[in-house]
Amino acid sequence: MTSASPPSIATCPTVPLSNGLQIPILGLGTSHQGGYSQQAVLFALRECGVRHIDTARRYGCEEQLGVAVRESGVPRGDLWLTSKLWPLDYGYQSAKQACRDSCARLGVEYLDLYLMHWPDCMVGGRSNREVRAETWRALEELYNEGVCRAIGVSNFLVHHLEELKEDGSIRPHVNQVEFHPFQQPWELMQYCQREGIVFEGYCPLAKGQALTHPKILRLAKKYSCTPAQICIRWSIQNGIVTIPKSTKEERIRENSQVFGFCLEAEDVTALTTLHDGRHVSWDPTHVE
């Protein structure tokens, strides 16, 4: 890695969706429980060239995020905004209303991507499959109406996707799943690749657990960068849309500066060996 400052995320590559849209391969994640900072979002948009932001109804920050987007001065057409539908809003009518409510809170006429947040529908008396199918039908209509430019799912495993394939008429454009050096669901990734579903990874730093691993620290020294940059760069080199979260300006700048170097093939492979199956977020393994 050269001593010059790496390019910012303004030069961020994109990944094509099956419908022809291009999603930036790197974005900024937000979350609840202190995972949102208005100033940090403004800094990301204005100073770091971030153009992809991920949020959700569950996080409770859509309205604040909408204010930040407007204050940033970045044209809506230059932004990729993702939000997610929480299971308490699953079902045909409630899903359609929840999507429009998210748009209203964000102050936008459309979402670039809208995801079903979790495969367990939390609805008594009906099967998860039945409720997922009904909810997906609502998302398909929102997509056809242009309220969502793309639709997808989050935390869905192969069997969830197989059922949706049988029950729906539009294949999810994206599946957003936990992905980091300790959690590498290659079988799921390969399935998504075969089916034309873009794989998006959250928690790329394993909520900080990856930042002290000796192998990652050695690579950070080798490439004259930070452990976080190693993890994010590794995820991107695996072709994964990656959305690290941070509320600290210096960390957001650091996370956006991952396009000025490449990991050598042997180092990409070395990080692949760190998989131990741990989850730092939700584990959907037992959701029917």
Q: What residues does 241 pair with on adjacent strands? A: 200
Would you call 225 exposed, middle or buried from its count of C-beta atoms within 10 A (0-12, 13-18, 19+)?
A: buried
Distance of CA 33 to the CA centre of its chain: 18
117 is in an annotated binding site: yes
Joined tokens for residue 27: 């974005």
- pLDDT tens-place values along the chain, 288 residues long: 333 343 455 579 999 999 999 999 999 999 877 778 999 999 999 999 999 999 999 999 999 999 999 999 999 999 999 999 999 999 999 999 999 999 999 999 999 999 999 999 987 789 999 999 999 999 999 999 999 999 999 999 999 999 999 999 999 999 999 999 999 999 999 999 999 999 999 999 999 999 999 999 999 999 999 999 999 999 999 999 999 999 999 999 999 999 999 999 999 999 999 999 999 998 999 999
Active site residues: 59
Whole-number pLDDT of residue 9: 55
For helices 227-237 and 214-222, angle between their N-to-C axes, nearest 10 degrees: 90
Provide CB contacts within 8 A for 232, sequence distance 6+: 26, 204, 205, 242, 244, 255, 258
Whole-number pLDDT of residue 1: 39
Cβ atoms < 10 Å from Cβ of 231? 27
Which residue ranges form the domains of the chain, and what is each CATH number? 9-272 (3.20.20.100)
Sheet containing 174-178, strands listed edge to edge, beginning at the edge strand earlier in sequence: 28-29, 52-54, 80-85, 113-116, 151-154, 174-178, 198-202, 241-242
| CA max distance for the chain | 61
- What are the backbone angles phi and psi of residue 28, rounded to the nearest 5°? -115, 120
Whole-number pLDDT of residue 8: 52
Q: How far is CA 169 from CA 113, 144, 163, 264, in A?
A: 17, 11, 11, 41
Inter-residue contact 200 to 155 (CB < 8 Å):
no
Whole-number pLDDT of residue 4: 38
Joined tokens for residue 239: 């072709």
